[in-house]
Amino acid sequence: MGEDGKKSLAMVVMSGDMDKLFGAFIIATGAAAMGMEVTMFFTFWGLRAIKKNVSTGKTLFGRMLGAMYGGDISKANPSKFSFGGMGRWMFGKMMGNHNVSKLIELRDLAVQLGVNMYGCQMSMDVMEIPQDAFIDGVKEPVGVGFFLLKAQDAEIQLFI
Amino acid sequence: MSDDIKVDLELDLKGLLCPLPMVKVSQNITNVPVGGIIRAVATDPGAMADIPAWAASTGNEIVSADKTGSEFVFLVKRLK
């Protein structure tokens, strides 16, 4: 149960793949619409899903990572048939033809529906992504203890 | 469909895909009074399963869910 007696969903988003992020945000927006309290804990490759399109990194490696895995959620490639960006373009076209929302629109809808989004402090430190690189609506970073507390009180726990 | 049901809000969900039909119903349910009715028209066949599931989860009522041609017409009653 969530804080006000609502059912709740706790989700780890570790993947930065386009297809998996679609799944994560469709489930999150659906759960929010169904009146559930939703927690999304973004870690490692998942952090880009809540990033603005800004460059990050302090050290050489951090800046390299920021350059190679930078941008925002619209840079997410599919987990299969990536073909150096071609796959993203093709799936984007196909989804557009079938009138599916863009990933970034679903993500923003999730914020609008009150989905609670948190960055993982440890992976933000390792990947040198500061809190101010995130979009508005992302809450202050937390750790695994916070996530586990949410997860043990939730009816549904997912790892994506 | 009986004619004596008063519809408080018409919702056009045509062309929208999962999860949007359900999301739009949830965003609009508070725009009708308790006891009020939304008439929603969707074209996504998945809505036939999703909107009743939404109602069951949120404690609202599906008065009817009918397929007419390629459209799915829902009468949703706000219960709380």
In a domain, A3, yes or no: no
Q: What are the structural domains of chain B?
A: 9-77 (3.30.110.40)
pLDDT of residue B3: 62
What is the SS3 assignment for B68? strand
Provide the domain limits for residue A82. 8-159
- In this predicted model, what pLDDT tens digit does every residue of A4-15 receive, in sequence order? 788 999 999 999
Give me chain A's average pLDDT, please. 93
Question: Is B73's pLDDT higher than 60?
Answer: yes
Residue B19 to residue A26, Cβ atoms within 8 A: yes
Residue A101: burial class (beta carbons within 10 Å; 0-12, 13-18, 19+): buried
Give me chain B's average pLDDT, please. 94
- In this predicted model, what pLDDT tens digit does every residue of B9-41 receive, in sequence order? 999 999 999 999 999 999 999 999 999 999 999
Whether residue A29 lies within 8 A of chain B, CB to CB, comes out as yes
Structural domains of chain A, count: 1
pLDDT of residue B2: 52
Residue A39 Cα distances to A16, A62, A143, B24, B28, angstroms = 17, 28, 13, 21, 23
pLDDT of residue A86: 87
Residue B23 to residue A33, Cβ atoms within 8 A: yes
In a domain, A28, yes or no: yes
Q: What Rg value do the Cα atoms of chain B yield, rounded?
A: 11
In a domain, A121, yes or no: yes
Higher pLDDT, A118 or A95: A118
Q: Which residue has the tokens 């990536």?
A: A82
In a domain, A36, yes or no: yes
- In this predicted model, what pLDDT tens digit does every residue of A31-52 receive, in sequence order? 999 999 999 999 999 999 999 9
Of B15, B26, B27, the CB nearest to A99: B15
ipTM of the predicted structure? 0.83
Query: How far is the alpha carbon of A113 from chain B, nearest alpha carbon, in Å?
Result: 9
Residue B19 to residue A35, Cβ atoms within 8 A: no
Question: Is B69's pLDDT higher than 60?
Answer: yes
What is the SS3 assignment for B19? coil
In a domain, A2, yes or no: no
Q: List the one residue out of B4, B5, B22 whose CA is nearest residue B13.
A: B22
Residue A34 to residue B22, Cβ atoms within 8 A: yes
- In this predicted model, what pLDDT tens digit does every residue of A21-35 receive, in sequence order? 999 999 999 999 999
CA angle in degrees (0–180, nearest 5) for B6-B9-A8: 115
Is B31 annotated as catalytic? no
**Best residue in A27, A34, A108 to probe B by mutation, most B CBs within 10 Å?**
A34
pLDDT of residue A96: 83
Q: What is the CATH number of the domain that holds A28?
A: 3.40.1260.10
